[in-house]
Every structure is written in structure tokens, then in C-alpha cells.
A and B are shown apart, each in its own frame.
Chain A
Amino acid sequence: MEKDVVLQTHNLVKEYRLGQINTGTLRGDLQSFFARIFKKDDPNINLLSDQYYNIENRTHRALDGVSITIKRGEAVGLIGANGAGKSTLLKLISRITLPTEGSLSYRGKVASLLEVGTGFNGGLTGRENIYMNGAILGMSKAQIEARLDQIISFSEIGEYIDTPVKRYSSGMFVKLAFAVAAHLDADILLMDEILAVGDVKFQDKSLKRMEQVAGEENKTVIYVSHNMTTIRRFCTRCIVLEEGKVVYDGEVEKAIEVYTQRKKLNYSAHNDLTEARRRYCPNHLVRKVSFTQCNLQLNDDCVIRDKSDFRLSFHFEAKEDIRAALLKVSFLDATEQPVASAISPAFDIHEGENILEVSADISGLQQGSYTISGGLMQQSEFGIFSYYDNVEQMCFVELEPEDTGLLWATRIWGRVKLPPLKIGGGAHE
């Protein structure tokens, strides 16, 4: 490794097996083991239904040949859609899990902020936890003591530092956790959207601190985020991951452009959903209803211009008649957090192919890109929802800014605009 290189990965691969690893109990595994030896039928195959058995040996490559080189003092942003392999890469660098193939080398110590407050013990005081956290990073007592005052003053905890952290408010807790991680003597700092801790003032302070770490202290920071604003402000270089591969590595603005362009490549008014990712619903072999297609009733650029009459049509196949089904359409923002949902009244589904056209008034939603997820579900008499089918990403839409009224500040005001406030309280009239 060259002198100024702090991290180098070579053809890194991380593979996960899908489905069951084993039968889960010693008894079951022994049964299968003996059945294999005596060439008898494995009694556990019947236990696991066919679909499980079929995917037993399928694997998923969360990372597929990643080779990157990072130099000292760089602040590298890591962006990509969910499931692109960002967190897996951080996990490998922080040695929480080992690669399946390839190798990675780094110089010095790696501190990860994968989740704030890792290793905090509720029963210990703030001060004791600072020592503990430092020790977990492999620092000696003397090294921690040298930075103790700095950490305490940054955390704004003050006199509560000798109180057990289980009595802290969640805000105090994350502030202390961030302060510890940001001041410890690591050469490489890994962060996974950590800057979203504390209040706005503290967030700003955290960001400044991270700039200082990368700039003045000449440490290396690797930062994973969906928030392009912080990436722009803070990173000097940016890597775009897609399906476990590096698709761009270099200048920040260019990277963000590549990322958004790549996302738009997926935009289409007509989406085939047979192979799409599902959540909370069983495998397609047992699923009673399967979405096959989702069409946007608008131009091919997927930009919605008339928000009061947003139209979608769904194609789906039902294996049997279903009464009182509900259709749910959710809008997810760029971080894939749900922003708003609309639910249909109950309707009946007939066996065979179905086409369902729906429309909604989404005037409240503000400008930006949204992922639409959709689910067909039923509510039990106890109020519990069960999904017949639930597709995470049905289609993507782009909402144009409104040309009337004041500019909407999404970051502060949120993504949904409610109907205008009425002046003059109604209650006393």
C-alpha cells in the first residue's frame, strides 16, 4: 500500500445465502444428516414447503467486486439506492463481517458510527461509557483521558455526565454518542447517516465537526447518506454503488448527477411487477393475488402535472375470489421513507386476471421524486392487516414544483402541504 493510501479494497465480494440455512434445530439437522448417510428420504424436506427448498441454494451478492482506494484526509460519500451494498461495504470495512472473496486493507484504526450509542451500557454513567466506547475502538485509557473534556463539552451534557445513561433523554444519548465517536482517535471514520442526530443546532455543529475531522485533523471519513445536501456540503469525493458494483467514483456533483440519472433510468410509465421485490407477503407460489403490471396514466417522462387527478392502473392475477380487499398506494421519498398513503374503499376481486383503475388527489404532495409502493390487503375483524401482495417499488414519479404561491421549503416544512389555514378560529363563531 502506498504511503498516503489509508484504505484499499480489492475485488470485494459479499455473498449471502437466501432461504433457510438449515432446519434450525439440532434434531432436524441430525435427521437430515443421517438421512443423507443412509440414502433415505430426508424427513425435513416435507416440513419445508417446496418453494423454500427451491431457493435454498440461491445466493445474493450484496457486493460484487468492489475495488476502491481511499487516501488520507478524504471525505468520501457513498450513495446508492437501498440494497446497493452501501451498508454491507461499511460492515466489511469495520470488520463486523468477513468478505466472501477479495481482500481489504487499511492503515490504522477504523471507528464506525453505524448506529449511535453502540456499546453504550445503560447502567453506566456518561463518563464510564466514554471510556467503554473508546476501549471498544481499541484506545488506551490515557488516549481517552486526553480527549475527555473535549468530548464532554461537545456533547452539551454538562453536569449529567455522571448520571447513568439510561436516565438520559434520547437526545442527550445520541449527542453523547456522537461526541464520543467524533473525537476518538481513529484514522478512518465510518458514518451511516449519522448526522441526523439531535436538534438542528446540534446537527449543524456535528457537520462542522466532521468537516474539521476530515480537514484539519487529516483523517479519512466515509459517509453513507441519502441526503444529497449533506453529501454536497461535506464530501470531497463520491462513490455511487448500484447492485453491489461501483458505477461511478469521483467528483461529488458528477456522482450525484449519475445517481439521479440512474434512478431515472428505472422510470417508466409501464412497469412489469412479476419479478419486483415484495414485503410482508408470502412467496409467489402461495400468494393468492399477484400484481403483474402497474401503469401510470401520464406522459412517458413520469412527470405529474395535474396533481388533483393522479391516475394509476394495476393488472393483477387472483387465484380465487376475494371479498372486501383494500388497495393501498404509498408515496416514498428519496430515502424510501413513506410520506403519504391513500387507501381505497373495500372491493371484491374475482378469480383470474383483473384490471383496476384508480385515481387520487395528491395535491398536498410537494415537488420531488417519489417511489410508489402498492399493496393489496385485507383487514381482519381485529383490525390487523394482512397483505395479499405488496410491491415495494411499483413505479417512480416526479412532481413538478407548483408555479403558484410561495416556494415550499421541503427540508423544514415536510413533504405534504395541508389545505390552507383559515384565519379566525371557527370554535367561537
Chain B
Amino acid sequence: MSKSSEVITTVTPKRKLLDFNFAETFRYKDLIFLFVKNDFITRYKQMLLGPLWAVIQPLLTTVVFTVVFGNIAGLPTDGAPKFMFYMCGNVLWTYFSSCLIGASNCFSSNAYLFSKVYFPRLVAPISTAIGNMINSGIQFLIFAGFLVYSILTGGVHPVYSLLWLAVLLVLQVTMLGMGIGLMLSSLTIKYRDLKMLISFGVQLWLYATPIAYATSLVKEKIPSLYGVYMLNPMASVCEAMRKIFLGVGNISIKYLCISLAMSIFFFLLGIIMFNRAEKTFTDKI
């Protein structure tokens, strides 16, 4: 008889505010792996270009940004090559928005599965996040390729001593995106109209973040609103990323700390709300 058949599970109505049961979630690691793998397989099956889409999408967006914002609008890029400037922002933003949207669809896209079988529900958003990480990892590799070329040709000068910070920032962006996404996914169970807001809201947020322009431009044109503007947790992260990889602009420790605090706050809030919603989800959908 296997050892697992001796584990006693007890189900009671009330649960604590923070009841993660990481041990149980960890036991389902094979499921997480399969979710990620299958999602990847089914996403690119029966497609002409397959995984190439992960590459084409940011490249095309970057080209459009370079032409529209860089050449037509003629926005300054703090001295960095335009293409690299926009690509850095784009890769970061694509990752953030896919984390947010992925997590926010967690309940609606798994409604059928959730109402038929039990497994730790956190498995679903975790595997979505890992999937997004892989996707954005591919995009980052493309960015890294262009980056190496630019460094060799002398176009950009990264701050090598701060590369470790970039890794932490990626984690922070994951937490922020997942946290807000989980929060929204819990709310959409009750309020379906929030769904409308999400894709639209992410779009608006893009313009409130220095993806298509530099923060220095905000400081110069609307100095009175700069303080409020930098409260956007993605603004300081994006600024810092550009400093690290392209060596332009600056890093503001103060706003980065605020951003980190907000990310942790939203992450915890998201998980708590998700946990609460998960309990009654099948009765409400």
C-alpha cells in the first residue's frame, strides 16, 4: 500500500485568512509542469509559425513604436538607440501585462475544470505565470541578442554592476502582475463587467508607464505631476530597467522602494482574495 493512502484529509467549512497549503501545492508539481507544457503545446499547435509568434510580436510592436513614437513623433530617448529603447520597454510590458491578464482569467478559463475536480487552485495561476515567464524568456533572449550587437557596435553601455537588480525587478513585476490579476479574477466571479475593464485598463496603464517615452520627458513637460506619475509601480521599474541594460536615465531608489512595497501589498492581497474566492467559486459561477 502506498504511503499516500495513509494521509488523512479533513474538510471543514471555515478556513483561515491565509491558508496556502504550500505542501499540498508542491505535491501537485507534476500537474504544474503539465499545465505549462500542455499550454505551450496547444498554444502553438496548428499554427503556421508556432513559437515564432513569441518573437514576432515584440519585434513588430517595437518596430511600430520606433516608427511612430521615435521617428514620427520624434520623442527623445535619453540618448539610447531608439530601437533598443522601445524594445526594452516592450519586453518588460508584455511580461507584466501577460502576467496580469493571465492571472485575471484564472477562474473564467478554468471554470469547467474547477467545477469538476479538486486540485489546489493556486496551481492554475502559478502555471500561467511560469508559462508567461518562458514566453517572455524567449523574448528576452531576442532582446539580449540585439543588446550584444549594440554593445559591440558601441551604441549602448549597460551598468553591469546592477544586473542582479534586474533579476529582482523581474520577480517584483511578476508579483505585481499576478497580485493584481488574482485580485481581479476573484472580483470577476461576482462582477462580470470587470472583465471589460481589464483589457481596456491594461491598455490605459501602458500609456501611464514610460514604455513609449522616457520619464525625463514627464519631468520636463509636467513637473507638477511627476511625483504622482512615479507612484505608478511600473514607472520606476521600467526606468530602472533602461538604466541597467541601456545605461540611460536614472534609478530613483525612493520610487523603487514604493513600487516594491506596492507589489508586495498587491501580491498578498491578491492571494488572500483568491483564496477566499476559491472556496465558494463553484457555488457562484
Contact = CB atoms under 8 A, between A and B. Distances in A.
B30 A141 contact: yes
Contacts of A324: none
B12 interface: yes
Interface in B172-226: 187, 190-194
Interface of B: 2, 4-13, 15, 27-28, 30-31, 33-34, 38, 41-42, 45, 113-119, 187, 190-194, 279-280, 282-284
B193 A128 contact: no
Nearest to A1: B8
A138 B11 contact: no
B28 A27 contact: no
B285 to A, nearest CB: 11
A38 B141 CA distance: 56
A376 to B, nearest CB: 33
Interface in A87-125: 91-92, 94-110, 112, 114-115, 118-119, 121, 123-124
A1 B194 CA distance: 45
A291 interface: no
Contact of A135 (B28, B282, B284): B28
A123 B282 CA distance: 25
A16 interface: yes
Contacts of A110: 118
A90 B114 CA distance: 15
A121 B117 contact: no
A115 B118 CA distance: 13
Contacts of A25: 191-193
Q: Chain A interface: which size bin?
A: 35 or more
A99 B13 contact: yes
Give me the 10 closest cross-chain CB pairs, A-B, nearest first: A108-B5, A95-B118, A123-B42, A135-B31, A118-B116, A26-B191, A105-B10, A103-B12, A97-B282, A135-B30
Given A16-B283, A22-B190, A121-B38, A136 B31 contact: yes
A98 B38 contact: no
Interface centre among B31, B115, B117, B194 (most CB of A within 10 A): B117
A21 interface: yes
A119 B117 contact: yes
B2 A185 contact: yes
A112 B117 contact: yes
16 contacts: A25-B192, A95-B11, A96-B115, A98-B12, A99-B11, A100-B13, A103-B13, A110-B118, A112-B117, A119-B113, A123-B38, A123-B41, A123-B45, A124-B41, A131-B34, A138-B28
Contact of A99 (B12, B41, B192, B193): B12
Nearest to A30: B191
Contacts of B28: 135, 138
B10 A103 contact: yes
